[in-house]
Structure formats: structure tokens, C-alpha cells
Amino acid sequence: MKEGHVVTHKDYQNKAFKIIRLEGTFAVIREFNPSRQALGELVLTKPIADLKPFKEDVSQAAARVVREASGNK
């Protein structure tokens, strides 16, 4: 895991977070909306071992691709 990666946390399984900073065995993560590519308000410090890569569902991925192709208009 590296800074900038989008992950989920075992206690927040349906939420996406972006790794803001790594501090030893902990990561500072911030809530992230993958379809809007926007950071949220919630900021947590959690053990890296509790994180796993985030996988977009098909509808989220499709919306993101359309938005990116249209220049985020």
C-alpha cells in the first residue's frame, strides 16, 4: 500500500478511503468518493493490516469513465 491508493477498511466495508500518509504500521486515511474523485470529511488513522484495496462496482466505474471522457462536465 502506498500514499494515494484507494482502500477499504474492515469496519467500513462499503466506504472508500484514500491513503493520505503512512506512519509506520498505520495509515492516515480520508473518506473518498470514487465516482466523483472527491475527498470527504472523515479522516482516520488505522492499522495498515486492516486495509484492503477498494474495488469499484460496475455502475461506479461506468459513471467515472463517462465523466472522465466528457471532461468532468
SS3 of 23-71: ECCEEEEEEEECCCCEEEEEEEEEEHHHEEECCCCHHHHHHHHHHHHCC
Choose among 49, 19, 45: nearest CA to 32: 19
Residue 27 lies in a domain: yes
Query: In this predicted structure, what is the pLDDT of residue 44?
Result: 94
Q: For 29-59, how does the pLDDT look when each residue is reduced to its tens digit (9 = 90+)?
A: 999 998 788 999 999 999 999 999 998 766 6
Q: Which domain holds residue 15?
A: 6-69
Count of domains forming the chain? 1
Residue 1 lies in a domain: no
Do the domain assignments include residue 64?
yes
Q: Pick from 53, 10, 6: which is nearest to 33 by CA? A: 6
In a domain, 15, yes or no: yes
